[in-house]
Amino acid sequence: MRLSASPLARFFAVAAVALLLLTVAWRPVSGIAAAPAAWLAATTMRTLFPDWVRSAHGGVARLEVETRLRVTPTAQQRALAAGAGQAVAEDDVAELVLEANPAQPGYGLPILLALLVAARGRRLFRRALLGAACLVPFQAYCLVTELLKQAAITSGVGAQTGFAAWQINLIAYAYQLGALLVPTLAPILIWVWLDRAFFAAIVLEGWLARPLGNGDGS
Amino acid sequence: MKRFFLLFIGIQLLLFGVELLKPVQEHVVLPFTAQIARLCSALISISDKSALAVGKVLIDRATGFAVSIEPGCNGVEACIVLFAAIVAFPARWRDRLVGLAAGFAAVQALNVVRIISLFYLGQWNRDWFEFAHHYLWQGLIMLDVLVVFLVWARYFPQRLANAHAA
């Protein structure tokens, strides 16, 4: 079979090239593209955790959450502060500030766009906008779980957040999910929904063309 | 389609949770990751004798540059996504097992290419290494998963009389 005769081979080739080009093009504007997710993550943190979140700011290339969680600087941190010309005494107490890079989970956008381009569906621009909007909550999820992981697990002052042990385990699981799976899986699921006609044509036509069997599957 | 989707998400969340368990990490994931590092070292050594694998770390003895194969870089999560999709798809178990074995091989083969490419990219240019590591290869691996699943679903499983197509 010639390569051009296979819709799957063509789809894969175009998607791979488009992914490369779109990821390169996305990188300089990743901060702007991630601004809605940063805003949503900041709003979520302010709304869900008013007890220990003092303020949260999300925007272009910036997500910062000021908390009421009190930390005592370590010897290493005091030395760093001294190196920067800031005197910090041993008994000084600081408030924890959480930071996340909004662009970090944002690479789902070029994945989604590459799949849409490769599937060659109609109304590409409209579906790209819709898909980008659908990605925002998933990206915000990744950012919120990253901030929660910092507050509840890696800061060392997680007890002040009031989370129970099972909630901390849940945060750890949710964070791993947000760091390892959601950024790449969400664009694919959204694409399957947006291009379900293409998906059905690729999968179901080949599948339905085969004769019925007496299988043991479900 | 709804049944497939719900099964896919459920199986995936379950497998991902199992993967994170400490005994699974200690006795399965870390030894597996160390084997990937050894395989990469062996492949690189065909043309470049400076590569060495120590546990999950791949080191260039000449330059001192090293890459550690961390979660997300060992292909396990990508395999979980693929396994969940294949198991959720209406097919015979024999067809599923063929898909699982071939899919595992396809994902891990591309992942070895990813690790070796990053090993050299990191020694050439740190900015391009970061870009390829954090963004580009993540997408390419998941694209590989999608294509493997589409190829398997289109060409391999025998159609079942009791299956719901959509």
Q: What is the mean pLDDT of each run of 10 residues along chain A (218 residues)?
A: 62 94 94 94 95 89 90 83 83 88 93 93 90 96 96 88 91 94 94 87 70 51
Q: Which residues pair with A67 in a beta bridge?
A: A53
Question: Within a 13 Å sphere around the CA of B145, how many CA atoms are in the beta-carbon half?
Answer: 25
- Decide if B55 is inside a domain: yes
- Decide if A203 is inside a domain: yes
pLDDT at B15 over 70: yes
Beta carbons within 10 angstroms of residue B91's beta carbon: 27
| Token code pair at residue A56 | 């949260």
| Token code pair at residue B136 | 């580009």
pLDDT at B19 over 70: yes
| Token code pair at residue A217 | 């599957």
Question: Within a 13 Å sphere around the CA of B22, how many CA atoms are in the beta-carbon half?
Answer: 2
- Banded pLDDT at B165 (limits 50, 70, 90): very low
Q: Please give the residue range of the domain that contains residue A196.
A: 3-208
Q: What is the pLDDT of residues A15-63, one digit of tens each?
A: 999 999 999 999 999 999 999 999 999 999 999 999 999 999 987 878 9
Name the amino acid, one letter, at B71: P
Q: Please give the residue range of the domain that contains residue B44.
A: 2-155
- Banded pLDDT at B111 (limits 50, 70, 90): very high
Of A140-144, B125-129, B156-160, least confident by mean pLDDT is B156-160
pLDDT at residue number A176:
93
Beta carbons within 10 angstroms of residue A193's beta carbon: 15
- Quote the minimal CA–CA distance from A162 to chain B in Å: 24
- Decide if B22 is inside a domain: yes
* Structural domains counted in chain B: 1
- Decide if B163 is inside a domain: no
Share of chain B above pLDDT 70, in %: 94
Residues ≥6 apart with Cβ < 8 Å to A22? A110, A113, A114, A117
CB contact under 8 A, B139 and A184: yes
Strand segments, DSSP code E, in A82-205 are: 94-100
B127 touches chain A (CB under 8 A): no
pLDDT at residue number A158:
81
- Decide if A25 is inside a domain: yes
Mutate to test the interface with B, among A116, A181, A182 (most CBs of B within 10 A): A181
- Coil, strand or helix at B51: strand
pLDDT at residue number B62:
85
- Decide if A214 is inside a domain: no
Residues ≥6 apart with Cβ < 8 Å to A74? none
| Token code pair at residue A7 | 């819709």
- Banded pLDDT at B160 (limits 50, 70, 90): low
Name the amino acid, one letter, at B9: I
How far apart CA B133 and CA B88 sit, in angstroms, is 30
Mutate to test the interface with A, among B3, B25, B70, B142 (most CBs of A within 10 A): B142
Task: Indicate the residue of A107, A180, A200 with minimum beta-carbon distance to B77.
Answer: A180
B158 touches chain A (CB under 8 A): yes
> For the range A201-208, what are the long-range contacts, defined as Cβ-Cβ under 8 Å and sequence gap of 24 or more?
A201/A7, A202/A7, A202/A8, A202/A11, A202/B150, A202/B154, A203/B150, A203/B153, A203/B154, A204/B165, A204/B166, A205/B154, A206/B153, A206/B154, A206/B155, A207/B153, A207/B154, A207/B157, A207/B159, A207/B165, A208/B159, A208/B165
Of A127-131, B24-28, B67-71, least confident by mean pLDDT is B67-71
Residue of B nearest to A176 (CA): B20
- Decide if B15 is inside a domain: yes
Q: What is the pLDDT of residues B35-44, one digit of tens each?
A: 999 999 899 8
* Contact present, B143 and A111 (Cβ < 8 Å): yes
The reported pTM is 0.86
How far apart CA A104 and CA A156 sit, in angstroms, is 24
pLDDT at residue number A215:
47
* Structural domains counted in chain A: 1
Q: How far, rounded to the nearest angstrom, does the alpha carbon of residue B107 sit from its chain's CA centroid?
A: 5
A159 touches chain B (CB under 8 A): no
pLDDT at residue number B153:
87
| Token code pair at residue B138 | 């993540």
pLDDT at residue number A178:
94
